[in-house]
């Protein structure tokens, strides 16, 4: 099936729901105990099993377009350095000197030919190899080959750079993505341009992620932002192992009643959200704009940090284009920071209050149910 035919089929499914006032549904409702959101010991076990032992999409390939470009970050207290090599390959290392462990690069992005430790000036190249040591003749002989930066398994697919946070763990990104890889590739993330990036503090990991996985709340919470364009409580869901593609209907779906199906503009009346487990959401809200969200758990169960990247299909070179891109950026910022995460903070308060002993997910929230079942399977040792 061609991509155009697939988009037409997704439109057909969304339009059928629009006409019937229905949505894709799970077989039944699902209850989950409140401890899944609150218990600190359980939280640490989940972070260790899921976030520290599964591939995480830590960067976009376009963030490191040239040899020597790098991104340094701390993820779950792990200092990570991602560097584009002269051979075009992205590599990841622990951002720690092999002498005393001092940080090589402050968090952020930049360009460097050599990465030099600020403490004793040990220097490394973009492949992590130890090049030189200050006053080496007085330090004594060491094996440079054994003292390169500690590598983290890293692979680039579909415009995303995946990293394993735990050293010595292998990364088979093709097995992990499975049939989701060609789906992600349709987004052509390596062809977009970064318009704006920011970091947003938010509620706990699961509270935050729940909001990315359903349209049930769009009418009530997002009436002034994305809810102006999407049909609330309408979802078409497709799963790819632990990963999911959510299709929301735009309010323009009603226009299709006056058109022959052969004349439909495939994709114009739907919005796709790609959720790559455990913490990546790519949302193509408008045809020439895209939002990439990376949700990182914080030090406690009630905190997260979300990295938002607003992408544009073409660099906005005119005042009109810049204004349109800024409008989109401001809208998604308001929807997430001022709507989703404000309510999410009250959910965190409600969790602590004892008002509920469990959460109930509706049949109309199948993607949320799938996400929590995936967490449960992984914690039980099923890595499929």
Q: pLDDT digits over 332-345, tens only?
A: 999 999 999 999 99
pTM score, whole prediction:
0.95
In this structure, which CATH number among 3.90.380.10, 3.40.50.1370, 3.40.50.300, 3.40.605.10 belongs to the domain 3-53+178-379? 3.90.380.10
Please give the chain's pLDDT, 384 residues, in tens: 788 899 999 999 999 999 999 999 999 999 999 999 999 999 999 999 999 999 999 999 999 999 999 999 999 999 999 999 999 999 999 999 999 999 999 999 999 999 999 999 999 999 999 999 999 999 999 999 999 999 999 999 999 999 999 999 999 999 999 999 999 999 999 999 999 999 999 999 999 999 999 999 999 999 889 888 899 999 999 999 999 999 999 999 999 998 999 899 988 999 999 999 999 999 976 669 999 999 999 999 999 999 999 999 999 999 999 999 999 999 999 999 999 999 999 999 999 899 999 999 999 999 999 999 999 999 998 555
CB proximity list for 245: less than 8 A, separation 6 or greater: 183, 237, 238, 239, 272, 273, 274, 275
What pLDDT does 226 receive?
86
In this structure, which CATH number among 1.10.10.10, 3.30.460.80, 2.102.10.10, 1.10.3720.10 belongs to the domain 56-170? 2.102.10.10
What pLDDT does 382 receive?
58
How do residues 170-223 score in pLDDT, each as one tens digit?
999 999 999 999 999 999 999 999 999 999 999 999 999 999 999 999 999 998
What pLDDT does 96 receive?
98
How is the chain split into domains, by residue range?
Answer: 3-53+178-379, 56-170
């Amino acid at each position: 099936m061609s991509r155009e035919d697939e988009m037409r089929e997704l439109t057909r499914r969304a339009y059928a729901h629009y006409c019937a006032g229905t949505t894709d549904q799970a077989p039944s409702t699902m209850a989950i105990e409140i401890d899944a959101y609150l218990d600190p010991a359980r939280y640490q076990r989940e972070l260790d099993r899921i976030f520290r032992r599964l591939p995480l999409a830590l960067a976009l390939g376009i963030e490191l377009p040239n040899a020597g470009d790098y991104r340094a970050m701390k993820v779950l207290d792990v200092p990570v350095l991602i560097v584009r090599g002269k051979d075009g390959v992205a590599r990841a290392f622990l951002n720690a000197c092999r002498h005393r462990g001092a940080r090589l690069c402050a968090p952020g992005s930049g360009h460097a030919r050599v990465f030099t430790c600020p403490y004793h000036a040990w220097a490394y190249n973009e492949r992590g190899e130890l090049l030189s040591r200050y006053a080496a003749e007085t330090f004594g002989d060491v094996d440079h080959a054994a003292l390169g930066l500690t590598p983290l398994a890293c692979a680039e697919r579909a415009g995303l750079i995946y990293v394993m946070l735990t050293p010595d763990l292998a990364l088979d990104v093709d097995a992990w993505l499975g049939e989701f890889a060609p789906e992600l590739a349709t987004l052509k993330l390596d062809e977009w341009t970064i318009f704006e990036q920011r970091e947003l503090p938010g509620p706990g990991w699961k509270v935050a992620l729940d909001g990315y996985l359903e349209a049930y709340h769009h009418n009530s919470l997002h009436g002034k932002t994305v809810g102006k364009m999407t049909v609330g409580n309408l979802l078409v869901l497709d799963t790819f192992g632990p990963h999911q593609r959510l299709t929301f209907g735009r309010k323009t779906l009603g226009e299709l009643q006056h058109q022959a199906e052969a004349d439909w503009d495939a994709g114009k009346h739907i919005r796709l959200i790609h959720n790559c487990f455990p913490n990546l959401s790519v949302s193509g809200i408008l045809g020439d704009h895209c939002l990439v969200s990376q949700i990182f758990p914080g030090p406690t169960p009630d905190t997260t940090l979300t990295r938002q990247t607003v992408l544009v299909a073409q660099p906005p070179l005119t005042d009109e284009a810049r204004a349109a891109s800024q409008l989109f950026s401001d809208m998604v910022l308001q929807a997430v920071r001022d709507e989703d995460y404000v309510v999410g903070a009250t959910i965190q308060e409600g969790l602590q209050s004892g008002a509920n002993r469990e959460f109930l997910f509706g049949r109309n929230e199948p993607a949320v149910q799938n996400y929590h079942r995936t967490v449960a399977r992984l914690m039980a040792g099923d890595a499929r």
